[in-house]
Structure 1
């Protein structure tokens, strides 16, 4: 029930992404020569503010606040391997940062660029704008499961996981009315394959994302 709408033309998408990300706080400073460094990136405020990590590291992280009616359930968050757990935690924060940008009315979303970069940042903004273009949001419970971490060379890792969005419902962005008549469908089961890279601060930023809707392995 959280499937995306049709993507707009490339030029319109580029403008929308720039509009959404302007002012988002991130791990790099602003530089117009670098497409990953959005103007105003270090001046974020609004619904999020820097906070110490709950995992015991000394990284200053943007706080992410989701509405009380948005419940993301992450299964298998603790593997017993601290290195893998750190990757899963930043994967979780990235997902929450996207949902915050969809469901929370704020001027800036610093966590969005903090946990995503490159192609993954663009795809996240594209996904968010697909909701905004139709003035819609969502409510309900989303389950993330079968999460697996694989380490690669050069401080890179991949995280694969399944998503079950059968218990989420469309929400009107203006009235707040929830449409609970929408029925669950196979497209609510999505398989994700993501690549993450560890930056100089020690944050696992997602760099690329691929997804498969109606994924049989997730049903």
Structure 2
């Protein structure tokens, strides 16, 4: 289990211990295998999605901006099925919202709340607050890839994806000290998420499990 941020040398993976056990409603509907059985994994030929302020279209969706010092590159984040693409879009924005909240030192980010259900919001805010309490922001680059998405028989969305954090670092706001993420397999995380569609048409993340090294 990864230690808390104050005692670890990793960057984002240090807080993953908060999510090692599935949080949220239902605990997810998928088996713990690395692949979602029968899932579509995108078209495979699309370029990485934009990382700056691009957000999915739709009424009320917040604009999420990342700093020039940090990039989140979403590779092949596309699917020919519009319903599955909608899940990919909102799942992407939920992750981007959390990164932006760390950079802004804002655990109460409205964007995080917008894309997170009540069941997962408390854990997301706790994850962000670890960085804020340590006085750290994040810089560098994360690569988000191998997205697998489907809609379950219950109507919930299942979205698995990998996040490579080995080119990311923390940067202390006061001292400017940079701590790099270790170049180790456990710095590549697998996110196993469940999303449910709200009455407003937003796919909110309702369950998250993060597995360090789960994509190796």
Aligned equivalents of 1:133, 1:186: Cα separation in 2: 27
What residue is the counterpart of 1:167 in the other structure?
167
Question: Structure 1 residues 115, 107: closer, same or farther in 2, change over 3 A?
Answer: closer
Unaligned runs of at least 5 residues, structure 2: 1-10, 19-52
What residue is the counterpart of 1:18 in the other structure?
none
Question: Structure 1 residues 192, 183: closer, same or farther in 2, change over 3 A?
Answer: closer
What residue is the counterpart of 1:4 in the other structure?
14
> What is the alpha-carbon root mean square deviation over aligned residues?
2.4
What residue is the counterpart of 2:213 in the other structure?
214
Q: How many residues align?
A: 172
Moved more, 125-134 or 67-76: 125-134
Question: Structure 1 residues 61, 172: closer, same or farther in 2, change over 3 A?
Answer: same
Question: Structure 1 residues 149, 139: closer, same or farther in 2, change over 3 A?
Answer: same
- Please report how far the alpha carbon of residue 178 of structure 1 lies from its aligned counterpart in structure 2 after TM superposition: 2.5
Q: Would the aligned equivalents of 2:69 and 2:140 in 1 still touch at CA under 8 Å? A: yes
Deviations along 1:147-182, one digit per CA (max 9) or x if unpaired, are: 1112024531110011100000121022334235x5
Deviations along 1:46-87, one digit per CA (max 9) or x if unpaired, are: xxxxx9x9555x422111111011100111211111111110
Aligned equivalents of 1:104, 1:212: Cα separation in 2: 26
Deviations along 1:95-143, one digit per CA (max 9) or x if unpaired, are: 0100111012459521111000133212211211121222212111101
Deviations along 1:30-53, one digit per CA (max 9) or x if unpaired, are: xxxxxxxxxxxxxxxxxxxxx9x9
Q: Would the aligned equivalents of 1:197 and 1:204 in 2 still touch at CA under 8 Å? A: yes
Q: Would the aligned equivalents of 1:72 and 1:144 in 2 still touch at CA under 8 Å? A: yes
Matching of residue 86 in structure 1 with residue 96 in structure 2 = no
Question: Structure 1 residues 156, 164: closer, same or farther in 2, change over 3 A?
Answer: same
- Please report how far the alpha carbon of residue 7 of structure 1 lies from its aligned counterpart in structure 2 after TM superposition: 7.4
Aligned equivalents of 2:207, 2:195: Cα separation in 1: 7
TM-score by length of 2: 0.72
Q: Would the aligned equivalents of 2:67 and 2:103 in 1 still touch at CA under 8 Å? A: yes
Q: Would the aligned equivalents of 2:55 and 2:64 in 1 still touch at CA under 8 Å? A: no
Looking at both structures, which has the greater relative contact order when contacts are Cα pairs under 8 Å and sequence separation is at least 6?
A: 2
List structure 1 runs of 4+ shifted beyond 4 angstroms.
Answer: 5-8, 53-56, 105-108
Unaligned runs of at least 5 residues, structure 1: 9-50
What residue is the counterpart of 1:202 in the other structure?
201
SS of alignment partner, residue 195 of structure 2: strand
Q: Would the aligned equivalents of 1:118 and 1:208 in 2 still touch at CA under 8 Å? A: no
Question: Structure 1 residues 107, 83: closer, same or farther in 2, change over 3 A?
Answer: closer
What residue is the counterpart of 2:144 in the other structure?
144
Q: Would the aligned equivalents of 1:160 and 1:194 in 2 still touch at CA under 8 Å? A: yes
